[in-house]
């Protein structure tokens, strides 16, 4: 992040959101809302004095509630840019709180960078191509898994909580502890496939990353807490990439992690322990662990706003709201909308190496387009016969790719297909009441000719008296 932020060819818009995308490949008109940070980026030195001065403490989203932050804050230590932002939804001034802070941040800042009057800025810019890399979120397990306590037990956490605890600059300074009493845990149970591969409570697909990060966390647990014992409940172990199988074997053989094949059925509190009930389907026995901490590997699911983002970009998504690639084998990093590319977990669950590979491929594809002055296209696209077009513009409403605009023709407004956007789906041609649109290579005449050809031949053969 730091490196990219310093690259002269990269402009980073942080704390910003793309609100609108119009146009097409080579000509995208993008509206970006740069939200009011309430701190002037150009003046701020990143000294964080304002953060110290702010008396308003709230739970930190970044640390998943394991730690706190101020109303003026940088989300985490390595955040880019190192410029705080005021969360106006909790700031005492913006919420008109009865507890006064006297604009402590404004007064603390020697650089006079805090600007409470700052407003959202709208940036309109043209882009040649777009790479979508909006990532993933995690399955809201609390609602679905009452048998695991549904969030009632403090010491049943998600793997992301565990990840935060492992971080040296995190809320527990890198110590693995029980959230309930801050004590170091001894028996730690990891449960895989929570929400994944669960057709009744979650998603049917495999999240693809949890087998590996659970093995990593089980190993790191042992490195952080020498007396701890890790147990992993799994359905299958999916360790398919380079060195992955050996990594899982290392967890089992060198770190004594107990891998138990079977899904946990119930977790309940017994004094300060959590009784975890499962089965070892390989040994054929029910098993039980009195655990100090339980870590859930929750399913990778799309961002809550994935459908809205897809709609804005006019790219398709599947039934789970994962963005759809143009071809699963041959065009895995492209969306069907020309000029829009996909990278990472917005397309499918995947780990970091795979996300990076996909992003690199998408970048290369973008350069492939932008390095040429002309675009080479499939010839099978729609074409409007302006003469025939009545100008009803029905086609503009049905085109799933927004490929149809209007032009003036002979004093009338008629529709017009943008060749570089059209995907040749034929929806417009089928819809046009005036039959003014054709799909090149698939006109009615051409199709009829194809159907008639064999009959004509048969006819000829019959009249010539050839055997049927």
Partner 1 sequence: MLQLNAETVHTCRDTIKRLSGEDVSRCFQCGKCTAGCPVAIDMDVTPNQVMRLAQINGRERVLASSTIWLCLSCETCSTRCPADIDIAKVMDTLRKISVAEGYPSPEPAITGFHRLFLASVEKYGRLNELELSIKHNLAIMKPTKDIRLAVGLFSKGKINPFGGKVKDRERVKKIFAESQRFVKVYPESIEREAE
Ligand X SMILES: Cc1cc2nc3c(=O)[nH]c(=O)nc-3n(C[C@H](O)[C@H](O)[C@H](O)COP(=O)(O)OP(=O)(O)OC[C@H]3O[C@@H](n4cnc5c(N)ncnc54)[C@H](O)[C@@H]3O)c2cc1C
211 binds, among partner 1, ligand X, ligand SF4, none (CB under 5 to 8 A by kind): ligand SF4
Interface with ligand SF4, residue 217, by CB under 6 A: no
- Measured CA distances, 453 to 161, 444, 447, 449 (Å): 67, 14, 10, 6
Asked if 306 contacts 346 with a C-beta cutoff of 8 angstroms, the reply is yes
Residues 219-248 that bind partner 1 (CB under 8 A): 227-229, 231
Nearest alpha-carbon partner for 386 in 408, 419, 418: 408
- What are the start-end ranges of the H helices in 17-60? 49-53
Residue 151: CB minimum distance to ligand SF4, A = 20
- Measured CA distances, 330 to 76, 316, 317, 327, 335 (Å): 39, 17, 18, 5, 12
The two beta strands, 293-298 and 156-158, are: parallel
Q: How many CB atoms lie within 10 A of CB 253?
A: 10
Residue 197: CB minimum distance to partner 1, A = 19
Hey, is 79 helix, strand or coil? Answer: coil
- Interface map 246-275 toward partner 1 (x if CB under 8 A): ---x--xx--x-x-xx--------------
Nearest alpha-carbon partner for 385 in 341, 432, 420: 432
Residues 155-174 that bind ligand X (CB under 6 A): 159-160, 163
208 binds, among partner 1, ligand SF4, ligand X, none (CB under 5 to 8 A by kind): ligand SF4
**The one among 75, 146, 204, 286 contacting partner 1 by CB under 8 A:** 286
Residue 373: CB minimum distance to ligand SF4, A = 45
Interface with ligand X, residue 355, by CB under 6 A: yes
Interface with partner 1, residue 305, by CB under 8 A: no
Beta strand spans in 57-146 (E): 57-59, 68-70, 72-73, 85-86, 121-127, 130-132, 136-138
Nearer to partner 1 (CB atom), residue 227 or residue 374:
227
Phi, psi dihedrals of residue 323, rounded to the nearest 5°: -70, 140
- Measured CA distances, 454 to 381, 444, 450, 459, 463 (Å): 27, 17, 8, 9, 14
**The one among 196, 229, 298, 348 contacting ligand SF4 by CB under 6 A:** 196
Residues in contact with ligand X by CB under 6 A are 17-18, 133-136, 159-160, 163, 209, 213, 216, 303, 309, 344-345, 350-353, 355
Residues in contact with partner 1 by CB under 8 A are 186-187, 227-229, 231, 249, 252-253, 256, 258, 260-261, 280, 282-290
Residues in contact with ligand SF4 by CB under 6 A are 192-193, 196-197, 206-211, 235-236, 238, 297
């Amino acid at each position: 992040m730091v490196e990219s932020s310093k690259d002269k060819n990269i402009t980073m818009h942080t704390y910003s959101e793309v609100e609108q995308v119009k146009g097409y490949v080579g000509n995208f008109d993008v509206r970006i809302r740069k939200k009011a940070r309430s701190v002037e980026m150009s003046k701020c030195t990143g000294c964080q004095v304002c953060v110290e001065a702010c008396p308003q403490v709230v739970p930190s989203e970044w640390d998943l509630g394991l730690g706190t932050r101020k109303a003026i804050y940088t989300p985490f230590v390595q955040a880019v840019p190192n410029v705080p932002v005021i969360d106006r939804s909790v700031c005492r001034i913006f919420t008109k709180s009865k507890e006064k802070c006297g604009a402590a941040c404004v007064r603390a800042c020697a650089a006079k960078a805090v600007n409470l009057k700052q407003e959202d800025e709208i940036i309109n810019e043209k882009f040649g191509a777009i790479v979508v890399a909006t990532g993933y979120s995690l399955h809201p397990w609390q609602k679905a898994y009452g048998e695991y306590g549904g969030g009632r037990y403090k010491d049943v956490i998600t793997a992301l909580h565990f990840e935060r605890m492992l971080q040296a600059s995190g809320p527990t300074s890198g110590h693995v502890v029980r959230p309930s009493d801050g004590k170091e845990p001894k028996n730690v149970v990891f449960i895989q496939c929570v929400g994944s591969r669960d057709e009744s409570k979650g998603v049917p697909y495999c999240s693809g990353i949890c087998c590996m990060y659970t093995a990593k966390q089980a190993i790191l647990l042992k490195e952080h807490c020498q007396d701890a014992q890790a147990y992993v409940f799994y359905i299958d172990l999916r360790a398919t990439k380079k060195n992955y199988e050996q990594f899982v074997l290392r967890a089992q053989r060198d770190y004594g992690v107990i891998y138990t094949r079977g899904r946990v059925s119930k977790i309940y509190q017994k004094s300060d322990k959590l009784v975890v009930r499962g089965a070892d389907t390989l040994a054929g026995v029910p098993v039980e662990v009195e655990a100090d901490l339980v870590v859930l590997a929750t399913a990778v699911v799309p961002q809550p706003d994935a459908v809205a983002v897809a709609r804005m970009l006019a790219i398709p998504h599947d039934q789970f709201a994962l963005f759809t690639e143009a071809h699963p084998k041959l065009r895995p990093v492209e969306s069907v909308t020309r000029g829009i590319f996909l990278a990472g977990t917005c397309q499918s669950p995947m780990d970091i190496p795979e996300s990076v590979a996909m992003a690199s491929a998408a970048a290369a594809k973008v350069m492939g387009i932008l390095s040429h002055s002309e675009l080479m296209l499939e010839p099978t696209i729609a074409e409007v016969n302006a003469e025939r077009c009545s100008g009803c513009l029905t086609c503009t409403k049905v085109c799933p790719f927004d490929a149809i605009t209007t032009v003036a023709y002979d004093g009338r407004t008629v529709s017009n297909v943008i060749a570089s956007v059209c995907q040749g789906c034929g929806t417009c041609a089928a819809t046009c009441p005036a039959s003014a649109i054709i799909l090149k290579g698939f006109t009615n005449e051409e199709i009829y000719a194809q159907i008639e050809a064999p009959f004509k031949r048969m006819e000829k053969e019959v009249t010539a008296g050839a055997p049927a």
